[in-house]
Amino acid sequence: MIGRRWLEVAAIGTLATAFVAALVVPPENTQGDLARIIFVHVPAAWLAYLAFGITLLGSAAYLITRKIRWDRLAAASAEVGVYFTGLAIALGMIWGKPTWGVWWTWDARLVLTAVMFFVYLGYLALRRGITDPEIRARRSAWLGILGVVQIPLVHFSVLWWRTLHQPPTILRPGEMQMDPPFFGTLMMSLVAYTVVYAALVQRNIERQEVEAELSDAMASEEIEVAGAAITAPSYGEVN
């Protein structure tokens, strides 16, 4: 058990370290302490990309091999990806209110991120609505593959359209426009939340395995139906 939980211990340790670093780094010159939200918002967006990319790989691997472990990986990663997408949207709204003056605006980046969020909510709903494991895995795999087209749309939306959302800060041509302490803390946060993602995916896969074992055990047992002991009355000849 200790050996299987090392990833969760690492997640707690790296997350605590990143949290302390986010508190002690000097405030940003223009936005002050509000800019600290970047240490969660950016990792959440990055983890959404990573999670849905892993869902793509797991879905494709299932269609090729028909091995259920790939379907479980795809499902677990999609579920965690939905969590992080929702977190990125919520933190973006919190940042947008004092910066833009509104909680929400119909900006291309915001709208496309929300669409991606609801598409993968639909992916999870599809899995819940199908009981047959093979049919569920096959249909979910196709949606997991098709849904990934949204990632480049979301990421490059700030370059393809005029938006309020700022353009890329890290992956951009030219000189890095971020102070070293802020950049180092951001990288630390990215590593920490990536480890958290891995720990959550591992736990979700374990949960799916337990659910599958329970479902198989229930299917193999002869469950007595209520009223099965009641027999129809026999009407004999009345003398």
Structure-block tokens of residue 207: 């949960």
DSSP string for residues in 12-42 = HHHHHHHHHHHHHSPPBTTTBGGGGGHHHHH
Structure-block tokens of residue 115: 């669409």
Helix (H, G, I), strand (E, B) or coil at 174: coil
Q: What is the pLDDT of residues 129-158, one digit of tens each?
A: 988 889 999 999 999 999 989 888 888 877
Q: What is the pLDDT of residues 38-80, one digit of tens each?
A: 899 999 999 999 999 999 999 999 999 999 999 999 999 999 9
Domain boundaries, the chain: 36-169
Burial 211-223 (b: 16+ CB within 10 A, else e): eeeeeeeeeeeee
**More confidently predicted of 115 and 101:** 115
Measured between its terminal Cα atoms, the distance across the chain in Å is 74
Structure-block tokens of residue 37: 């939200």
| pLDDT reported for residue 66 | 92
| pLDDT reported for residue 237 | 55
* pTM for this prediction: 0.82
When pLDDT is cut at 50, 70 and 90, the band that residue 2 belongs to is low
Partnered with residue 32 across adjacent β-strands are: 28
* C-alpha span between 203 and 11 (Å, rounded): 12
| pLDDT reported for residue 183 | 85
pLDDT at 3 over 70: no
To 10 degrees, the CA torsion angle through 196, 57, 202, 130?
Answer: 120
Structure-block tokens of residue 132: 């047959």
Amino acid at 148: V
* C-alpha span between 40 and 84 (Å, rounded): 10
Element containing residue 186 per DSSP (H, E): helix 180-220
Mean pLDDT score across all residues of the chain: 84
Q: Which fold has domain 36-169?
A: Four Helix Bundle (Hemerythrin (Met), subunit A) (1.20.120)
When pLDDT is cut at 50, 70 and 90, the band that residue 227 belongs to is low
DSSP one-letter code for 152: H
Backbone angles phi, psi at 237, to 5 degrees: -75, 135
Radius of gyration of the chain (CA): 24
Q: Which of 86-95, 169-178, 210-219 has the lowest mean pLDDT?
A: 169-178
Amino acid at 51: A
DSSP string for residues in 125-141 = HHHHH--SHHHHHHHHH
Q: What is the pLDDT of residues 121-134, one digit of tens each?
A: 999 999 999 888 89
* C-alpha span between 49 and 216 (Å, rounded): 34
